[in-house]
A = this chain, B = another copy of it.
Amino acid sequence: MKLWQKKCKLNKEIEKFTVGNDYLLDKKLVKYDCVASIAHAKMLNKIGVLKKKECSKLIKTLNQIIKLDSKGKFLIKQEDEDCHTAIENYLIKKLGKTGKKIHTARSRNDQILTALRLYCKEESKSTFGLIDKLINQLILFKGKYGKTEMPGYTHMRKAMPSSVGLWTESFIESMNDNKKLLVNATKLLDQSPLGTGAGYGLPLKANRKLTAKLLGFKKIQKNPIYVQNSRGKFEASLLNALNQIMFDLNKMSSDLILFSMEELGYFELAKEICTGSSIMPHKKNPDVLEVLRAKYHQCLSYEFQLKTVISNLPSGYNRDLQLTKEPLIKTIEITKESLKIIKLLLGKVKVNEQNCQKKITKEMYSVKELHELVKKGDSFRDAYSKISEEGFYVAGKNK
């Protein structure tokens, strides 16, 4: 039974195709859709559409659904299409006519946006928390190994002396910036779409400020067409922020893979995080880091899916927008999982201090040597020339 059920039934294969995996993805949204419906019910009561008793019954039953869902016991069937239908059907089954009133003054178009934004806000908060945990792990790592000097690279060639501390801090500072990015991206989503109907307002005067307040939204998003047009647009900025996190993990993984090569030997990965080969008994492979590195590309492709699927469409809801749900949910899930994994990993990385020190070779002090000549009166560019032999520097030549 669909919300828009007609006497003429939808072709079964067409139904399956249009629903896609929405009924599975929507598991993430059941809670938020119920929370939004509770606020909606309260508002309907306030404006006289629902009696107090009806409102209480709806709230009670919606809370039941939340509880069922938290135990994984609230099912969304493929015929239900989505969580909205499954929930309305449940309400009607339990409450009869009262259940049939919940959809007054709203459309699925504003309803799904409300649930998605509540979901995004909560997920953003928990991602923030995971970044903090990673930062703490980085601080621990720095505390343990920070003072160890190691070669610093440019162009994958030894450049100047660096240190494990400097390397670690670079990710701490970046992760702190990521938190700001995340907060800013979430601000956009912190606008209530509820009460704008299908995109062209409603014939009933819904109290939009009330529902916005009940749901903890900073403000209402006023224009109903804009509400629909912002589907995908707002999520795009969230995905951009998440992909900055993923980019940092891509780089951290690239570093850890390179620095733990036997030939460099700065870092060592504990056996329990390495995998083996099906044919080469000696192998100790950093698979987890490689998968982590690759996940950036996966998330990036989700971002581009979202950003292209919404293109070249006229204003107002178009069903294409349904395909923004998977990239959004998947990117959030992957980012959170990746943050947990890198934190766990870092606890199992050791620094080989001997190798780090040994590999800082003399030529890496060329900048220091050059600036000593500067202090003695040479101009920078003359000192640079002087210090080079046939154009390429030989360590200590000018001492």
Contact = CB atoms under 8 A, between A and B. Distances in A.
Contacts of A161: 200
Nearest to A224: B166
A146 interface: no
Contact of A391 (B257, B276, B290, B393): B276
A101 interface: yes
A206 to B, nearest CB: 11
Given A181-B237, A273-B10, A4 B283 contact: yes
A198 to B, nearest CB: 6
B359 A155 contact: no
Specify the main secondary structure of chain A where it touches its partner.
helix
Contact of A244 (B236, B257, B316, B384): B236
Contact of A316 (B6, B154, B276, B291): B154
13 contacts: A4-B283, A5-B276, A6-B392, A99-B381, A103-B278, A156-B258, A157-B262, A157-B286, A159-B280, A169-B222, A169-B223, A169-B225, A280-B366
Interface stretch (A25-33, A209-217, A367-375): A367-375
Given A174-B230, A296-B311, A297-B309, A154 B283 contact: yes
A290 B320 contact: yes
As for how many copies of this chain the complex holds, the number is: 4
- Of the candidates A13, A250, A282, A359, the one having the most CB atoms from chain B within 10 angstroms of its own CB is A282
A300 B308 contact: yes
Interface stretch (A65-73, A104-112, A119-127): A104-112
A117 interface: no
Contacts of A326: 298
Closest 4 CB pairs of A and B: A6-B391, A4-B276, A282-B393, A301-B305
A390 B5 CA distance: 10
Contacts of A192: none
A361 to B, nearest CB: 8
Interface in A279-307: 279-288, 290-298, 300-302, 304-305, 307
A236 B242 CA distance: 12
Contacts of A384: 4, 103, 279, 281
